Amino acid sequence: MVEIGPGLAALTQPLVERLGKLTVIELDRDLVQRLQSHPQLHVIASDVLRVDFTELAIALQAPQLRVVGNLPYNISTPILFHLLSHVDAVQDQHFMLQKEVVDRMVAQPCTSDYSRLSVMLQWRYAMENVLLVPPEAFDPPPRVDSAIVRMLPLAQPPVLDVQMLETLVQIAFSQRRKLLRHTLGRWLAEKKFGGEFDVHRRAEEVPVAEYVALVQALAA
């Protein structure tokens, strides 16, 4: 198991008591020094965005990693996308994030929370908001609600060009209030796409499966 950002070890200590040993990734030098004094911790002193989780799994002789952490709001999305690029090395992920981020991760089409983040994660993970964490659970209490999300990589994900999906979805949601014919429609025309795709919808009205199918059709 790997914990991202253990900080003062509020989560780390109960985890290591159950597991016997734990790998943690921490950037803060003072915290790294403190964590390194713990005999049951393997400490990686690094920015998590620079950690190759595929190589880490090999180094730990683990078929796959279980990744946990309380992710800071300002870099939570970059961390999620970084882990997506190493998803084959991951068994599952459990994170605490701001509730608004979790809401977007698990959002369904035709809702205000459905976004680029929803599509880019849902094509590859089954996700569930498992627990709401109110401000009073912290000391001092923050001004926002938090939530814990479970992320399970799909056993048989669709085969597609991930970079193309990322580009397509970014274009689609670039002007989410407009119909797709103004954004994605123009891009598809430039690609000389001759297949069927209804661009008389907004980006938030298109299910993940349709975005996936469109990418696959473009690559065919």
pLDDT in tens, 35-85: 999 999 999 999 999 999 999 999 999 999 999 999 988 899 999 999 999
Q: For residue 104, what pLDDT is reported? A: 97
Q: For residue 178, what pLDDT is reported? A: 95
Which superfamily does 2-153 belong to? Vaccinia Virus protein VP39 (3.40.50.150)
Closest CA to 4 of 89, 75, 106, 102: 75
Q: What is the mean pLDDT of residues 169-196?
A: 95
Domain ranges of the chain: 2-153, 162-219
Give the pairing of strands 2-4 and 41-45: unpaired
Q: How far apart are the first and last CA of the chain?
A: 39
- Domain 162-219: which CATH number of 2.40.30.170, 2.60.40.1840, 1.10.8.100, 3.40.50.10490: 1.10.8.100
